Structure 1
């Protein structure tokens, strides 16, 4: 496990971009898992600039979009795939056929989850996955209580997650989601966890220095093959030396 503490969000995003863009230069045909949310936006902005300057090329990469809301299709304004598309994919000329997304609109959503896992396996696994950290210790939509072996599935979102998402969707927040499982995340060859802000300090402390427990699913990341954590100083304020 490699933990990098930066002075602020901007430096965190720059360090993350150095890692992801460096990885892409060496592995242009890699399988990337890219999450949504506010935290990775700075990383994606830098990746877009690197694409425009031709420092990186995503034309051979496969992108996994690892979370979606249940009942939400790609054209819905709340779609997490659409958010990812707005943030980075459309700016880097990533074609739809390069993207493996969770199909929240599928009439048989559990089968859609199983197909997602099958596609991960068929592609040889995820090479690098970018994740953020929830205030209650969730990763993706793996809420407290998720096992480390969990696979892609339908989940009931916690009250904390729903309340947090009000700032995005006002009073129209879905109560259920589809999420890549902790087992899938832990199977990735590399995991990059980005954490920013004082409000994430307790969760980060529990993740890196507390008990490894299903009540803090992010703590399972300490069992990963290769984990890099980049946190700004506010998020890292409760970490012990």
Structure 2
């Protein structure tokens, strides 16, 4: 059967990745927060000196709640190493977009996470890491130093990307193994990713979305001990079916998560709906 024709009620049958449904975007946010604290506590209990999370920025909302809970309950994140998945760049050879840009992931993390935390509870600045276009080995070096990634948290793009690992463009060819070994790097974003990001962040102004970004690679994601994915966009309905029931192919980057020994999806009900054509 074509994965795109699988009904929501049958989506679990033969799925190649474990998942569960939750009601809506608020439930997704709450689950992310709960998982964040549970995984941090589990890693510390297992004896980890530093707990390493790869974290996304969007969808937004969770970091404010995490910071508030830490402050309220005196939960220290001083042993947390944050590897942000990605960031927009001004050009292929340029640096990060300005922190003054509303699209800046650096700015978002500062405004909605680090800046809200009691400084005594916050990760030190040297444990707040973005992949660096001018020092692209900084993420692999940090992972070697701190014993690898405990959990990679993330979402899925309309192309099936995880972080900004978009599928090969027409004329580009990667085997599954080659794609799985792609490291942290500077990338040119696909037209599809820029377009959908413009819908969610800039009122459809695709020209406002940068053409380039720096991203952690599929290699770093797949080498994480655990992967936790959260999906809450209606336009993810088709892609989630390809990921759960389709073949492992570079053209659907997140399908490579089928090879991971500890991956789990949390999906809002609307994402489970059948992706049927409908004029609106």
TM-score of the alignment, normalized to the shorter chain, above 0.5: yes
Q: TM-score, normalised by structure 1?
A: 0.87
Cα distance change of structure 1 residues 50 and 144 upon mapping to structure 2, 3 Å threshold: same
- Structure 2: distance between partners of 1:115 and 1:103: 7
Q: Contact 2:229/2:264 (CA < 8 Å) preserved in 1?
A: yes
Greater Rg over alpha carbons, structure: 2
Q: Contact 1:25/1:56 (CA < 8 Å) preserved in 2?
A: no
Cα distance change of structure 1 residues 85 and 208 upon mapping to structure 2, 3 Å threshold: farther
- Misfit runs of 4+, over 6 Å: none
* 1:15-94 to 2 correspondences below 5 Å: 15-28=31-44, 29-38=50-59, 41-54=60-73, 56-70=75-89, 71-73=95-97, 75-77=99-101, 78-92=103-117, 93=119, 94=122
* 1:108-123 to 2 correspondences below 5 Å: 109=134, 112-123=135-146
SS at match of 2:148: coil
* 1:134-149 to 2 correspondences below 5 Å: 134-145=157-168, 147-149=179-181
| 1:238 Cα deviation after fit | 4.0
Matched positions, count: 231
* 1:181-196 to 2 correspondences below 5 Å: 181-196=217-232
- Structure 1: distance between partners of 2:85 and 2:242: 24
RMSD over equivalenced CA pairs, Å: 2.1
The aligned counterpart of 2:214 is 178
SS at match of 1:212: coil
The aligned counterpart of 1:13 is 29
The aligned counterpart of 1:155 is 187
- Structure 2: distance between partners of 1:192 and 1:46: 18
The aligned counterpart of 2:171 is none
Task: Could you tell me which runs of 5 or more consecutive residues in structure 2 were left unpaired when the two chains were aligned.
Answer: 1-16, 45-49, 90-94, 169-173, 276-280
Task: Could you tell me which runs of 5 or more consecutive residues in structure 1 were left unpaired when the two chains were aligned.
Answer: none
SS at match of 2:180: coil
Superposed CA deviations along residues 150-188 of structure 1, whole A, max 9, x for unmatched, are 110111100011122335354332111111011110100
SS at match of 2:238: helix
| 1:55 Cα deviation after fit | 6.0
